[in-house]
A and B are shown apart, each in its own frame.
Chain A
Amino acid sequence: DIVMIQSPDSLAVSLGERATINCKSSESVLYSSNNKNYLAWYQQKPGQPPKLLIYWASTRESGVPDRFSGSGSGTDFTLTISSLQPEDVAVYYCQAYYSAPYTFGQGTKLEIK
């Protein structure tokens, strides 16, 4: 099974500043048959279910603000929030989803500095 490791475990960033979260998979999630990275990012705010933000490593889900972006390929990925807003306080998870089990990273808690 693929193991997903996120870094850091927690992060405090000032409002308006950039936040960067990393995710590393134990094996490549890039599949040569379609040249797609099977990597998603989710946001979970307190008391709420997770919400899909990014899929195919860099495609924003409909309605997600463009300050959120995803990058990376193969085994190393990054979620970037270009200008942190108060409503971005949450826990963020990466997930590999090519085949079962669809493993999640351990989560990164993002707070305001």
Chain B
Amino acid sequence: EVRLVESGGGLVKPGGSLRLSCAGSGFIFNDAWMSWVRQAPGKGLEWVGRIKSSADGGTADCAAPMKDRFIISRDDSKDTLYLEMNSLKTEDTAVYYCATVSAGRLAHWGRGTVVTVSS
């Protein structure tokens, strides 16, 4: 069974930084493309970015509103995906989900971790 567990969320002040982690199990992590999606309180889903498998180049892309502040990376030796978030703004407050990417579609999702940006 595929399992994704996000961690690292919490309360951070505007301008601060946070690193989220997503531990994967039940699948071959180093073969998987992975993605981050967020959901602000009471709002819809917003795609944050994705990272290709190392075999496919391991490159990461972030959505335009975040690309200068967020970095997606992976450690295949630990079966873990990361989202480093810098210069955080109040509008970054959201539940952050990680998901596996299968031919582009988001096949399996974690339960999410909550990030609150507030002074």
A contacts, CB < 8 Å to B? 1, 38, 40, 42, 44, 48-52, 55, 61, 91, 93, 95, 97-107
Contact = CB atoms under 8 A, between A and B. Distances in A.
A1 B110 CA distance: 26
B27 interface: no
A40 B44 CA distance: 15
Given A50-B37, A98-B104, A101-B47, 17 more contacts: A49-B97, A50-B97, A50-B106, A51-B109, A52-B105, A52-B106, A91-B44, A95-B45, A97-B103, A97-B105, A100-B63, A101-B63, A101-B64, A102-B47, A104-B44, A104-B46, A106-B44
Contacts of B63: 100-101
A55 B103 CA distance: 10
A67 B1 CA distance: 25
Interface of B: 35, 37, 44-47, 49-50, 61, 63-64, 97, 103-112
| B contact patch SS | strand
B105 A40 contact: yes
Contacts of B109: 49-51
Contact of B50 (A91, A102, A104): A102
Given A93-B44, A107-B45, A102 B64 contact: no
Contact of B45 (A1, A38, A99, A104): A104
A49 to B, nearest CB: 4
25 contacts: A38-B104, A40-B104, A40-B106, A44-B45, A48-B111, A49-B112, A50-B37, A50-B109, A52-B106, A55-B105, A95-B47, A95-B106, A97-B103, A97-B105, A98-B104, A99-B104, A100-B49, A100-B63, A101-B49, A101-B64, A102-B104, A104-B45, A104-B47, A107-B44, A107-B45
